[in-house]
């Protein structure tokens, strides 16, 4: 291999073959698709277990009035199971993160 010099034509042909293989792989590759887990049947045992746990909290980015309507519909369908809607951006869940001071590498003297 040491004695053979690569010509410009050899380099161009190799790059053309490599880019062709890459393009064909991108065209004919099938995208990976994730599947949702199978739905779980709503049984009386599941409802009783949910009642023992307490309030159902819906964390969502939807508008709060829409979430409250969804919660009321849930409570109508499953009486005895209270629900509450929460919008994390509005409830302050994330508001403390940027305010926390960062640790310094060396303590002040």
Q: Which of 20-29, 65-74, 79-88 has the highest mean pLDDT?
A: 65-74
Interatomic CA distance for residues 27 and 15, integer angstroms: 18
pLDDT above 90 covers a percentage of the chain that reads: 16
Interatomic CA distance for residues 33 and 100, integer angstroms: 39
Q: Would you state the pLDDT for residue 56?
A: 87
Residues in the chain: 109
């Amino acid at each position: 291999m040491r004695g053979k010099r690569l010509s410009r034509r050899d380099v161009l042909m190799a790059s053309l073959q490599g880019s062709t293989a890459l393009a064909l792989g991108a065209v004919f590759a099938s995208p990976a698709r994730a599947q949702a887990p199978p739905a779980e049947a709503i049984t009386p045992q599941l409802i009783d277990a949910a009642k023992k746990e307490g309030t159902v909290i819906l964390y969502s980015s939807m508008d709060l009035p829409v979430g409250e309507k969804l919660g009321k519909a849930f409570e109508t369908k499953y009486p005895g199971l209270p629900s509450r809607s929460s919008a994390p951006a509005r409830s302050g869940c994330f508001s403390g993160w940027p305010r926390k001071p960062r640790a310094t590498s060396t303590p002040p003297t």
